[in-house]
């Protein structure tokens, strides 16, 4: 008999009591075994993934979506490497974030602790399965995985391999759960399980995020779209601007931290736009520009109002000439998703104004938005990028997968 979503959540809740206090050595061994299992079963993973990619092509998925979906030897090796990196990290559970002595003599500690049972509802990318599960296990959380139908075969194999490898090394049964159905009713059931599930992470399209937040009886953390901007001001070094924009758009355009809109100060347009036209054109990028930009580069396509609010996830870029920093900031405030935005400038005052006023999860001065991830930030693998304004914003690394609680050591104190 196939377990219902509720039964899986109950199993995860039972496992939580053991997992939350599991020895660091056991969690480390389990994660290492999971990494080995991925590499040792590469053929099975590739076979399952081929079914998903084939079905995606038949459905007419975009090149960007197919790129997110695809697994091959290098990507599986990276998934395994990330699990080993997580295994090697310090265990966050029990770490003291702050300690002090209260005026009544109580010894106070705020310590990191597991969030509890977490569920993630996500689309497309199978590596989310392994990285989220790995981070949750390390942080003492049980995880319920519900991926998209487009990756059902890949996710099913990955979740099973991790579950089996982890249990062999001492993880409690139920610590990793996978919703093995594409029936949308399962999502509705999952989102109604307040009391069994402590937090839902929603990662994907606007449609998915909206559906999850509207239905959920459980707190939801949104890993939303990434409509990222780069503003090139009048003092920007042209070579640096060209390099950063090219990297942010071309390095891997299907990711949420790739740039979608470039804003150029009108004072720099004559020298910057021809450079961008040459490098972006050579990389196969379609540029959709406003009239001021097309007056300099007529070959670019005209932009529409919809382009400023579009996350392409493809080799397409919108570009606008602006009157200066204030107009650039106003444009970003109107359209950005809050994930990552950047300024390229040699003017420190302008850069500091941008950093202060553009309130994104990651705001950059002279660096590519593509860097918005756990490994470039030096916090290890991340399960996604939280665009909510509440803590923790940005890449969700190992510490961000924990909460805090108070441990108090007294000597008979009472409240008067």
Query: Measured on CA atoms in the order 57, 61, 63, 67, is the torsion positive or negative?
Result: negative
Helix (H), strand (E) at residue 288: strand 286-289
Distance CA 106, CA 27 (A): 33
pTM, whole model, 2 decimals? Answer: 0.87
Full set of structural domains in the chain with CATH: 5-219+392-409 (3.40.605.10), 228-367 (3.40.309.10)
pLDDT digits (tens, 9 = 90+) for 68-84: 899 999 999 999 999 99
pLDDT digits (tens, 9 = 90+) for 276-311: 999 999 999 999 999 999 999 999 999 999 999 999
Better-predicted residue by pLDDT, 373 or 63: 373
What token pair was written down for 367? 């660096």
pLDDT for residue 182 is more than 80: yes
- Of all residues in the chain, the percent with pLDDT exceeding 70 is 100
Distance CA 156, CA 189 (A): 19
Q: Are 169 and 179 in contact (CB under 8 A)?
A: no
SS3 71: coil
pLDDT of amino acid 204? 81
In 44-179, the DSSP E strands lie at: 96-101, 107-114, 117-122, 142-146, 176-178
CA R_g for the chain: 23
Q: Are 403 and 117 in contact (CB under 8 A)?
A: no
pLDDT for residue 165 is more than 80: yes
Least confident of 226-230, 277-281, 387-391: 387-391
């Amino acid at each position: 008999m196939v377990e219902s979503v509720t039964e899986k959540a109950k199993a995860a809740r039972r496992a939580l009591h053991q997992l939350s206090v599991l020895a660091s050595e056991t969690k480390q061994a389990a994660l290492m075994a999971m990494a080995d299992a991925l590499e040792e079963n590469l053929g099975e993973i590739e076979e399952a993934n081929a079914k998903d990619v084939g079905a995606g092509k038949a459905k007419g998925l975009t090149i960007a979506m197919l790129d997110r979906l695809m697994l091959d030897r290098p990507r599986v090796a990276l998934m395994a490497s990330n699990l080993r990196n997580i295994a090697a990290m310090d265990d966050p559970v029990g770490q003291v974030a702050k300690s002090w002595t209260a005026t009544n003599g109580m010894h106070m500690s705020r310590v990191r602790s597991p969030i509890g049972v977490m569920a993630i509802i996500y689309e497309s990318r199978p590596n989310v399965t392994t990285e989220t599960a790995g981070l949750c296990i390390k942080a003492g959380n049980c995880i319920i995985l519900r991926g998209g139908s487009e990756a059902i075969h890949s996710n099913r194999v990955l979740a099973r391999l991790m579950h089996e490898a982890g249990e062999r090394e001492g993880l409690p049964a139920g610590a990793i759960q996978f919703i093995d159905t594409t029936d949308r009713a399962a999502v509705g059931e999952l989102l109604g399980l307040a009391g069994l599930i402590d937090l839902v992470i929603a990662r994907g399209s606007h449609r998915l995020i909206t559906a999850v937040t509207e239905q959920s009886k459980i707190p939801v953390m949104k890993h939303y779209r990434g409509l990222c901007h780069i503003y090139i001001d009048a003092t920007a070094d042209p070579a640096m601007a060209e390099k950063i924009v090219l990297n942010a758009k071309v390095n891997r355009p299907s990711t949420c931290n790739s740039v979608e809109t470039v804003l150029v100060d009108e004072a720099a347009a004559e020298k910057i736009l021809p450079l961008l036209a040459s490098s972006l054109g050579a990389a196969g990028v379609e540029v959709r520009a406003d009239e001021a930009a097309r007056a300099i580069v007529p070959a670019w396509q005209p932009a529409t109002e919809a382009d400023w609010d579009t996350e392409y996830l493809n080799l397409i870029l919108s570009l606008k000439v602006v009157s200066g920093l204030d107009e650039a900031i106003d444009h970003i405030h109107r359209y950005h998703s809050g994930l990552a935005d950047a300024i390229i400038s040699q003017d420190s005052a302008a850069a500091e104004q941008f950093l202060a006023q553009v309130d994104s999860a990651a705001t950059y001065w002279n660096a590519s938005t593509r860097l918005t991830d756990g490994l470039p930030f030096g916090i290890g693998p991340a399960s996604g990028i939280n665009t909510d304004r509440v803590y923790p914003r940005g890449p969700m690394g190992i510490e961000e997968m924990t909460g805090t609680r108070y441990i108090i050591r007294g000597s008979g104190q009472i409240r008067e």
